[in-house]
Amino acid sequence: MGNTVIKAINLTKVYKMGEIEVHALCGLSMEVQQGEIIAIMGPSGSGKSTLMNILGCLDRPTSGEYILDGENVSRLKDDELAKIRNKKVGFVFQSFNLLPRATALINVELPLRYAGSNHNHHEVAKAALEAVGLGDRMNHRPNELSGGQQQRVAIARAIVNDPAIILADEPTGNLDSKAGEEIIELLLSLNRERGTTLIIVTHDPDIAAHTHRIIHIRDGVVVSEERT
C-alpha cells in the first residue's frame, strides 16, 4: 500500500435545525491508502451520509481537516470544491442518477464537459463504457437499459475522469442480488486493474466481506475497524 489518499482528522459537522443543533459528526478521524477498498457501515443516523458528503467534497466539515490526495479541501470555496469533485472524486449512487434523456455515452461524457478540457470526449467516454462492458450500448438511453446496466453506466461516468477515489453509496441497493453481485465484481475488478481507491457505504455484510477493511460508525465517530 502506497500513499495516503484520504486523511480525515477530527471532523465535526453541526447542522442547525431551527434552535436545535444536530451533531452529525463528532470528531471523526480516518485514513485510506491508495488502492484500498473500504466499507463504511453503520445504522441510520450514525453520520454515514454526512461523512460521505464530506469525503465526496459535496459539503464542508464544521471543524477538522480533510486532506484529499495531498490537498487540504476542508476550507475550499464552492467552485473550488466543484473542481475537486470533477477531478478527484467519482460518485456511484444508489439510484444511478443518470440523465434520462441523454444516451449512455453523453451521460459518461458529462464530467469531461465540466472539466473544460478540449480532449476528445467521445473517445475517452467510449473507453470508459468499454471498460464496464457496455461498448455495445453506447447510444442507448437509460430507460432502454436494465438496472445493472444503468449502474454500469454510472460507474463508467465515475471512472471517466480517472479520479483519486470512487465513492459508492449503496451501489447495489436498487438491484436484484445477481445484478448486485455483478456490480460489486465490476468494482473489485476496476480496483484490481486500475488500483482505484473504493469507498463503499453499505448495509450488506456480504458486500462488506469483499472489502479490505470495514469501518463501523455510530453517533458520528468511528467505533471500530476490522480487516477482512
Partner 1 sequence: MNVLTSFFEALDSLRSNKTRSALTILGIVIGVGAVIAMISIGRGAENSITGSIQGIGTNLLFVLRTQSSDVTNPQPLTLEDAEAISDPFLAPSVAHVAPMLEGQAKVTYDGESQLIIVSGITPEFEIVHNYQVTEGEFISEDQLLGRSSVALIGPDAADNLFGRKTGIVGETIRIEGQPFRVIGVLESKGGSTFTNQDNVVLIPLTTAQTRLFHRSKRNQVDLLIVEAYSPDAVQSASDEVSEILRNRHKTKIGADDFTILKQQDFIETASMITNILTIFLGGVAAISLLVGGIGIMNIMLVSVTERTREIGLRKALGARRVDILVQFLTESATLSLIGGILGILLGWGISYVVGLIAAANKANITPTVTLDTILLATLFSTAVGLFFGLYPANRAAGLEPVEALRYE
Interface residue list for partner 1 (CB under 8 A): 53, 56, 58-59, 78-79, 82-83, 85-87, 91, 93, 97, 99, 101-102, 110-111, 113-116, 157, 161
Q: The C-alpha cell of 153 is what? A: 453506466
Q: In the complex, what is the shortest distance from the CB of residue 158 to partner 1, in angstroms, rounded to a whole number?
A: 9
- 78 vs 136 by CB, closer to partner 1: 78
In terms of DSSP H, where are the helices of 11-73? 48-55
Q: In the complex, what is the shortest distance from the CB of residue 62 to partner 1, in angstroms, rounded to a whole number?
A: 14
- 25 vs 214 by CB, closer to partner 1: 25
Q: Measured over all CA atoms, what is the biggest interatomic distance in the chain, rounded to whole angstroms?
A: 54
Sort 173 into a burial class: Cβ within 10 Å, 0-12 / 13-18 / 19+. Answer: middle
- 52 vs 138 by CB, closer to partner 1: 52
- 54 vs 184 by CB, closer to partner 1: 54
Q: In the complex, what is the shortest distance from the CB of residue 108 to partner 1, in angstroms, rounded to a whole number?
A: 10
Assign 21 to helix, strand or coil.
strand
Instruction: Report the C-alpha gap between 10 and 26 in whole angstroms.
Output: 8
